Amino acid sequence: MSATWTVKMFSENRTMIKLFKVKEKQRELAENASGGPPVKKQSAGELRLHKDISELNLPQSCTIHFPNGKDDLMNFEVSIRPDDGYYLGGTFLFSFQVSPIYPHEAPKVKCKTKVYHPNIDLEGNVCLNILREDWKPVLNINTVIYGLYHLFTEPNYEDPLNHDAAAVLRENPRLFESNVRRAMSGGYVGQTFFPRCI
């Protein structure tokens, strides 16, 4: 009796497995009814990023670009052209790399424009608290872009990555302004050359 029951269970399990495979195949066919290639499933991070991008409310001086096309939303660039402050008239490009576990992890942001700035080092690393210890999943891409914009309208010498620029801003704001203008025009500040970004 127990052998008969085992055979019956084995037979029922095989039938159930076949049934699941048939249903899975039907679902795939329904998803691909357009005749195109299989549809790639989006991660939770991609879904959230799509929502964030659709709800962007950027200042006119900021633009977003997708250099890899619409199929790669997780990597994009933001161009910021401050309309106030020391960096007025400059154009600064940032790359964003967004993790599949976004928003539980902050996007990785780098400044692609070499800039004389207390909160951005010469390798493009950005010191912005919401990209580090103050990141929370309720924050979004719009918040990050506004934070970057704010770095240009009000640079912060109290939390620097470029200590030399921070010291000049703190001790001699007029010299700092002169250094920023020289760097943005394509010139040297100390021993470092900055390409033109005006």
Which residue numbers are catalytic? 127
Cα–Cα–Cα angle for 54, 59, 185, rounded to 5 degrees:
125
Q: Are 92 and 113 spatial neighbours (Cβ–Cβ below 8 Å)?
A: yes
Measure Cα distances from 55 to 37, 51, 114, 141, 142 in Å: 29, 6, 30, 10, 8
Q: CA-to-CA distance for 115 and 181, rounded, in angstroms?
A: 11
Q: Are 132 and 141 spatial neighbours (Cβ–Cβ below 8 Å)?
A: no
- What is residue 123's three-state secondary structure? coil
